[in-house]
Structure 1
């Protein structure tokens, strides 16, 4: 194990500076790498490879100093719990960083050409005191909370923290043209709920079965409650779909 990690990071800093990486980005990158190294207990060479090679990869993804921020791409998309983690993995590998979730549960993503890195994500089930326990467990591992939706919390971290030089991203795939990604099971559950509501509305409208006017509301609430219970059960099982 290298007993002088400072020498490694000094070399890395000098190489990044020579590659034209902005000073602020160098400082934050080195700080993140030092923090990750203290958690793993490995040497810099074991974790990231030779400083010169690692700097070349990181420097190759650094933004030009004069690049305007408005060139960054943004994208809103959503998925059900049966394929959200798979899609987060896919889009994270394409350089999309989740910056939060909006009120509709859509992932608000950002990607800057020339500066994009690969990201990895994880989803955790949270409620009550469980939230604090999850944060306490994941934060030391470099995971950052990037959004919450209902019972779920989503975390992110750059893949450089776990994969080193292999996390560098070269060309960027085009932004997907879709924003809604539903799995087969998600579509089936949605269809069942809509059919329940439609049947109740039709029966109430035509007076079938002498149903009271609030039947449709009860059917909708019953369907929503049943769906929520099912989603919670599947999430607890770690279902990917």
Structure 2
């Protein structure tokens, strides 16, 4: 079967499953781009078109239309643990839609069979932003949220892994919402000690109410900046390695 015939059959099967045309076009475009990179035949890479369409069909709602059946979950992690947890949860079919005002990952997952997602985090501060977007967008990465100097990108695994890019029986929604690493717990403990000290000082009259507020703000900003600095330095070290 030729590549065009394969994607014609795939498109027809997806259309029969009531997948919107714009979603079919985007899926086919991503899959064609993947085959162009790998140089493999579509049947070899994805399996029979009808079976592959059955795995992909109806997994996501049409663009701009909410899926009332979808599961929703919001969680967070520190900067030392976020990439690992994104890999874990992305493998369970959780798609990050955005980051909220306090840096939590707002996720959704289609019921039943769901797409697996892969994620990456990049520093996008200043002039790096346009360069990173120009490099990642052609590879299918989509910016799904920003926090501090970081941008979080997502991509469905089906575009690169074929049938293995879906999870047929996803686990239940986690009960936890906070995932801290050992380093993150240490930073949080130090923050609590410093804020507790400022609060105690206000009670004994060393600091007034205004001084307490300023102290907490300074400690909070310092904690965020210092944590970002540590992770950025670690990233540079990994890149050099």
Q: TM-score range by the shorter chain?
A: 0.7 to 0.9
| CA shift for structure 1 position 217 | 4.7
1:219-241 Cα offsets, whole Å, 9 max, x none, are 4344334423432233221399x
- Paired residue for 1:22, among 19, 22, 33? 19
| CA shift for structure 1 position 40 | 4.3
- C-alpha distance in structure 2 between counterparts of 1:88 and 1:63, whole Å: 19
In structure 2, what is the equivalent of residue 148 of structure 1? 146
The gaps in structure 2 that reach 5 residues or longer are none
Say which SS state the counterpart of residue 110 (structure 1) adopts: strand
In structure 2, what is the equivalent of residue 231 of structure 1? 227
The gaps in structure 1 that reach 5 residues or longer are none
| CA shift for structure 1 position 64 | 11
TM-score when scaled to structure 1?
A: 0.82
**Consecutive aligned runs of 4 or more in structure 1 exceeding 6 Å deviation:** none
- Paired residue for 1:175, among 173, 176, 179? 173
The root-mean-square deviation of aligned C-alpha atoms, in Å, is 2.9
User: Rg: which structure is higher?
Assistant: 1
Say which SS state the counterpart of residue 175 (structure 1) adopts: coil
- C-alpha distance in structure 2 between counterparts of 1:11 and 1:142, whole Å: 23
Say which SS state the counterpart of residue 198 (structure 1) adopts: helix
Asked if 2 retains the 8 angstrom alpha-carbon contact of 1:92 and 1:120, the reply is yes
Residue 51 (structure 1) aligned with residue 10 (structure 2): no
Shift in CA distance, 89/223, structure 1 to aligned 2, threshold 3 Å: same
- C-alpha distance in structure 1 between counterparts of 2:60 and 2:84, whole Å: 28
| CA shift for structure 1 position 83 | 1.0
Total equivalences in the alignment: 231
